[in-house]
Amino acid sequence: MLISAMLFIVGLFLLAYGSDRLVFSAAVLSRMLGISPLIIGGVIVGLGTSLPEIILSFSASQQGLRELAVGLALGSNITNVLFILGIALVLRPISLHSALLRHELPLMLLVTLLAGLVLVNQQLTLWDGIALLFVALVYLYGMLRLIKRTSSDAPDQLTQEQLSVLPDQQISFAVALLWLGVALILLPIATRMILDNTLVVADFFGLSQRVVGLLFLSVGTSLPELATVIAGITRGQQHLAIGNLVGAHIYNLAIALGLPALIDPGKISEKTVNHDFWLVFVASSLLTLLCLKQNKVNGRSIGLLLLTGFLIWAIWLCCPFRPTMIS
């Protein structure tokens, strides 16, 4: 079991690194093709935040691990708000003035409500998957329109911070192709290592696919986002840090949840609807309220409250004295 746990951790590292290199090479190649840096920063880099969850959800769905994929999609959003945003707020108060980010918030709530409608009958269907992935395409199109509109006079604050993290223009085509090849080799290896060893660890502790996806995989795949958010907050790029969380929230529900419906439709746990979704909805509402506040949010107190909530939720999921929660 110890070897499986170590391979699981190595797999998470390879997944994060491979995803980063894939986004890096895609950004460089897109710029060489003449695609606007505004689009690269707002779409490609933004989508890259949820790439580990999307890749794992796709692989898990192919292997018939529907509950694990659904748990990962929902758990990542819970982790992003309670854990990652909690740490960010403890580090520094936030004050957001991005018009682009404020336009994204209603879209995030709408996608959350749509996900609830998809889950309410405890059954994922092919049409549910098509609907969610269509929403992802609509969101991407809407983001392109918003980026152009809010940046017509001067780039939005979120857009400016996204542009600042784009790869150097001096990077050559050969280097970009090299990193693309590395990513395409690493990602299948990483997903196989993660999924195979996740099941071994889950069987050892008697945990269900749902709990493994909700907590362990969601935390593991969110660690790169944690590093990105902490780096953004400490550098004063708070719009980029929070914008990544909002974008990831939408992509996780539209794509990472849409893939198991499309690839492996079928019944899902009652607890997914009665417990997990409602916590996602609360997390979405909290994220919206914090982003809409005009004055600086008192980071430490709210951040500690969010972290306490995350700890209680994690214990509640895994506590051996509550077997109904791990079935």
- pLDDT tens column, 267-309: 999 989 888 999 999 999 988 887 776 555 556 788 899 999 9
Instruction: Check: CB of residue 61 under 8 Å from CB of residue 132.
Output: no
CA distance 95 to 43: 23
Residue 108: is its pLDDT beyond 70? yes
Per-residue confidence band for 163, with pLDDT thresholds at 50, 70 and 90: low
Query: Tokens representing 199?
Result: 């099941």
DSSP for 33-46? TT--HHHIIIIIHH
CA 239-245-250 angle, 5° bins? 125
The whole-number average pLDDT for the span 31-53 is 78
**Of residues 68 and 98, which shows the higher confidence score?**
68
Residue 172: is its pLDDT beyond 70? yes
Q: Model pTM? A: 0.87
Residue 143: is its pLDDT beyond 70? yes
Residue 97: is its pLDDT beyond 80? no
Residue 326: is its pLDDT beyond 50? no
Residue 29: is its pLDDT beyond 60? yes
Residue 132: is its pLDDT beyond 90? yes
The predicted pLDDT at position 236 comes to 74
Residue 21: is its pLDDT beyond 90? no
Nearest CA to 1 out of 136, 241, 197, 282 is that of: 197
Which residue type does 242 have? I
The predicted pLDDT at position 71 comes to 94
Instruction: Check: CB of residue 159 under 8 Å from CB of residue 42.
Output: yes
Nearest CA to 306 out of 245, 264, 255, 251 is that of: 245
The predicted pLDDT at position 257 comes to 94
pLDDT digits 0-9 by tens, 175-227: 889 988 999 999 999 998 999 888 888 888 888 889 999 998 999 888 877 88
The predicted pLDDT at position 155 comes to 60
Cβ-based neighbours of 41, under 8 Å, separated by 6 or more: 159, 162, 163, 165, 166
CA distance 235 to 92: 11
CA distance 268 to 248: 23
The predicted pLDDT at position 24 comes to 84
Instruction: Calculate the CA dihedral of residues 201, 252, 324, 318 and round it to 10 degrees.
Output: 50
The predicted pLDDT at position 296 comes to 56
3-state secondary structure of 287: helix
Residue 256: is its pLDDT beyond 90? yes
Cβ-based neighbours of 214, under 8 Å, separated by 6 or more: 71, 72, 74, 75, 78, 276, 317
**Of residues 257 and 299, which shows the higher confidence score?**
257
